[in-house]
């Protein structure tokens, strides 16, 4: 009887020890960040390895281009720039790249917007729900706006938002393109979204206001360039002219 009791007691103690060990491992996993992604709240602060708020130079290095390849959209009242990037597959045997093109937008050198368009061939036949399922695996549960919310694309066209992922700082929208059956994923850094939009509106206002003066100056420059060209031709041709 004593032997059986000791055996039973030892088994209970062993189970208790194993349970305690598993609990300690779980706590360690949480502390050191080795739990599966699903165990944590979704992180919307980045797209792939590109972090919202990163400066232009850092993003350019990641894409393998130079800062000079960024396009200046507006210089005032704030500097608005765009950097295009075309993701490439990592090798002949790697999975095909569905993202056809990415445009990073910067407000005074800080990335505040990412727009990802998808290859029609690689996404042919996929429904909105298919896109939502895949994106939700990265960014958590999506919200489907009801009724559908309209967004304004970079070209100014109205676009339909079919799903949204957001927290207090960031937002991603799955947008149905205004042309064709394609979709686009657009992410923003909220704290810079409004200032950037305000700057773009003001820049367009200034451009329209100064358009007549700009056009007049352009005409003067064109006439001066033509006069200079004719004078050079005259100096070249006059000495050799024979009537």
pTM above 0.75, yes or no: no
Instruction: Please compute the mean of the pLDDT values over residues 197-206 and round it to a whole number.
Output: 94
The Cβ of residue 41 has, within 10 Å, a number of other Cβ atoms equal to 8
Token look-up 């002219």 returns 241
pLDDT of residue 220 exceeding 60: yes
- Asked if residue 148 lies in contact with residue 128, where contact means CB atoms within 8 angstroms, the answer is no
Token pair recorded at residue 160: 């339909």
To the nearest 10°, the Cα dihedral for 138, 175, 141, 29?
Answer: 20
Instruction: Please compute the mean of the pLDDT values over residues 132-161 and round it to a whole number.
Output: 77
pLDDT single digits (tens) 114-140: 999 998 888 899 999 999 999 999 999
pLDDT single digits (tens) 18-46: 545 444 443 333 222 333 434 446 899 99
pLDDT given for residue 219 in this prediction: 83
Mean predicted lDDT score pLDDT of the chain: 80
Token pair recorded at residue 36: 């599966």
Least confident window among 23-27, 48-52, 173-177, 189-193:
23-27
pLDDT of residue 81 exceeding 80: yes
pLDDT given for residue 166 in this prediction: 95
pLDDT given for residue 157 in this prediction: 60
pLDDT of residue 152 exceeding 80: no
pLDDT given for residue 23 in this prediction: 43
pLDDT given for residue 8 in this prediction: 47
What confidence category does residue 207 fall into, taking pLDDT thresholds of 50, 70 and 90? confident
| DSSP class per residue in 18-42 | HHHHHHHHHHHHHHHT-S-GGGS--
pLDDT of residue 14 exceeding 60: no
pLDDT given for residue 37 in this prediction: 39
Token pair recorded at residue 193: 């979204």
What confidence category does residue 202 fall into, taking pLDDT thresholds of 50, 70 and 90? very high
What confidence category does residue 108 fall into, taking pLDDT thresholds of 50, 70 and 90? very high
pLDDT given for residue 150 in this prediction: 59
First to last CA, the chain: 136
């Amino acid at each position: 009887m004593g032997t059986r009791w000791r055996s039973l007691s030892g088994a209970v103690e062993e189970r208790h020890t194993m349970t305690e060990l598993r609990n300690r491992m779980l706590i360690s996993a949480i502390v050191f960040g080795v739990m599966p992604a699903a165990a944590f709240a979704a992180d919307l602060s980045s797209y792939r390895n590109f972090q919202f708020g990163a400066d232009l130079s850092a993003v350019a290095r990641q894409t393998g281009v130079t800062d000079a390849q960024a396009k200046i959209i507006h210089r005032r009242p704030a500097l608005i720039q765009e950097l295009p990037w075309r993701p490439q597959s990592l090798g002949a045997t790697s999975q095909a790249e569905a993202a056809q093109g990415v445009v990073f937008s910067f407000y005074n050198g800080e990335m505040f917007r990412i727009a990802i368009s998808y290859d029609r061939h690689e996404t042919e036949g996929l429904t909105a729900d298919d896109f939502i399922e895949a994106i939700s695996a990265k960014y958590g549960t999506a919200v489907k706006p009801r009724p559908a919310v309209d967004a304004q694309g970079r070209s100014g066209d109205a676009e339909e938002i079919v799903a949204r992922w957001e927290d207090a700082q960031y937002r991603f929208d799955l947008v149905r393109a205004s042309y064709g059956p394609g979709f686009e994923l657009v992410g923003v850094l909220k704290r810079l979204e409004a200032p950037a939009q305000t700057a773009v509106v003001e820049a367009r206002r200034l451009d329209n206001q100064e358009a007549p003066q700009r056009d007049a100056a352009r005409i003067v420059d064109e006439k001066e360039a033509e006069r200079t060209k004719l004078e050079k031709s005259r100096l070249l041709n006059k000495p050799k002219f024979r009537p």
